[in-house]
Copies of this chain bind each other. A is one copy, B any other.
Amino acid sequence: MNEELKHYNDRAENLILNHLESGNVSKMIKDASIYSIQAGGKRFRPYLVFATLKSFGLDPAAGLSAAGAIEMIHTYSLIHDDLPAMDDDNYRRGQLTNHKVHGEAVAILAGDNLLTESFNVLAEDESLPADIRIQLVQVVSRAAGQSGMIGGQMLDIEAEGKNITMDELVMIHRHKTGKLIVAPIESAAIIAAADDETKALLLRFAEYLGILFQIRDDILDVEGDMSVTGKLSGSDARKEKVTYVSTYGLNGAKEQLELLKDDAEEILENLSSKLDTDELYSVLQMFAVREQ
């Protein structure tokens, strides 16, 4: 990550923490919500907002509320995913999961809180005009809801124990993780008031990025360094999950990733007459070779 843009990631985190700190009814909901925000994470999604704004030659700070809101939604989804009724995970990134520390009831409410307050963060950002803010609420709620992330989570649950096809798997990924990778880039395009053609190309780039993210995940599950990924290797194979690696083999998955990277680069070439695409190239590279 570019150090300049990483600085905006820190500002987005501060924005979230200040917002949560401003709650004045229950200290416990504040503490439980902040716990999961501070549990770390790669902050890829906020970074995508800032990198895209920079490609328009704009001040990345214009995307702070969008970046914060999307990271809050990502975090709430992890809290609820980790619950006993869902994936029943005790640890995430080497730390106890929210419900293991605060109990299930509080964890459910902390997730609900981060989701609810994410829309408050967007709506209260007085630095953006109302019509931009309302477009951001539209884009983020669509990406997070039944036609986005939650739809994908549900498909994932429905697929458990079934033999699904590669097409069905792509459908799950495109929604479960893909939509919340597209949303930061789309949010930045809205803030930048991008023309339709630029926006369409950026969205296609973002979709490729989302799939590439998942292929890299599947590869890391096989050959990742546990001390870096924080996850046990080979867990997909043990769970007999359908993945890019199980379908195409390790080398096949790597080829798929390279092909996708080529396609995404081609889109960036098309965008280069309008945008400074350097930062987006770096993002693509980062997603393709990331070790965690």
Chain A contact residues, CB within 8 Å of chain B? 20, 22-26, 28-30, 33, 76, 80, 83-86, 103-106, 108-109, 111-113, 115-117, 119-120, 122-124, 130-131, 133-134, 137-138, 141-142, 144-148, 150-155, 157-158, 171, 175
B residues near A130, Cβ cutoff 8 Å? 130-131, 133-134
Q: A25-B152, A85-B105 are in contact. List 14 more A-B contacts (CB 8 A).
A: A23-B145, A23-B146, A25-B147, A25-B155, A26-B158, A29-B146, A29-B151, A80-B109, A83-B108, A85-B104, A113-B145, A115-B116, A119-B137, A133-B134
B154 touches A25 (CB 8 A): yes
B147 touches A23 (CB 8 A): yes
Chain A interface, DSSP helix/strand/loop, else mixed: helix
Q: Chain B nearest CB: distance from A11 CB in Å?
A: 21
Q: Chain B nearest CB: distance from A86 CB in Å?
A: 5
A108 touches B137 (CB 8 A): no
B residues near A142, Cβ cutoff 8 Å? 120
A29 touches B117 (CB 8 A): no
A91→B76 CA distance, assembly (Å): 27
Name the one of B20, B28, B123 contacting A154, with C-beta atoms under 8 angstroms. Answer: B28
